[in-house]
Amino acid sequence: MAETSTVARPYAKAAFEYARDHKALDAWSDWLGKTAMVVANQDVQKLLSSPKLNEERKVVLVLEVAEASVDDAARRFLDTLSDKRRLAALPAIAEQFERLRAEHEKRVDVTVVSAFELDEKQQQKLVDALKKRLNREISITTQVDPMLLGGVILRAGDTVIDGSVRGRLNRLSEALSA
């Protein structure tokens, strides 16, 4: 079977384009996120693969468990996924949808891993510097990893900036042993 991200790509793109054109990005993002969380559950995946349930019942079940209200277009989208036996791809579709939305809104989520808790002033300084460098709106999430010793590791999409003491020591060790 094809890789899930490959299968999800055209569906995510179609969903994003529809939601963007109909100014419904928030609504589509909401119900896609809810249904994706439900479908990601292993028990639900077993249920969805059961031949005892028809495709329409699977969609109803996912919507009921997710407590998601959808419009007619969203329901047709889910029905299409179900008919093509692609409901299991919903988590990947939701992820790619969010990536397309972030790109459209010129927004990026950044994870900052530091050795110590960052105060509000330090976080704002990082946000301002990243906003300038990446030319995007920044949404920051912080994590603490005492194993870093000092410094920070920044993750923004595929970009990783390792400014940690541990990273510097590793690079120094590699340079000395080469």
Q: How does pLDDT run along the chain (178 residues), one tens digit per residue?
A: 458 889 899 999 999 999 999 999 999 999 999 999 999 998 888 888 888 888 888 888 888 888 888 899 999 999 999 999 899 999 999 999 998 998 898 888 889 999 889 999 999 998 998 888 888 888 889 999 988 888 889 888 778 888 888 888 888 888 998 7
164/114 Cα distance (integer angstroms): 8
Residue in 126, 119, 132, 124 with CA at minimum distance from that of residue 154: 126
Contact call for residues 67 and 37 (beta carbons, < 8 A):
no
Question: What fold is seen in the domain 4-102?
Answer: Peroxidase; domain 1 (1.10.520)
Q: Is the pTM here over 0.75, yes or no?
A: no
Cα–Cα distance measured from residue 175 to residue 166, given in angstroms and rounded to the nearest whole number: 14
Domain residues of the chain, as ranges?
A: 4-102, 107-177
CA 171, CA 38: separation in Å to the nearest integer? 42
- Residue 118, Ramachandran bin (φ over 0: left; ψ between -120 and 50: alpha; else beta): beta
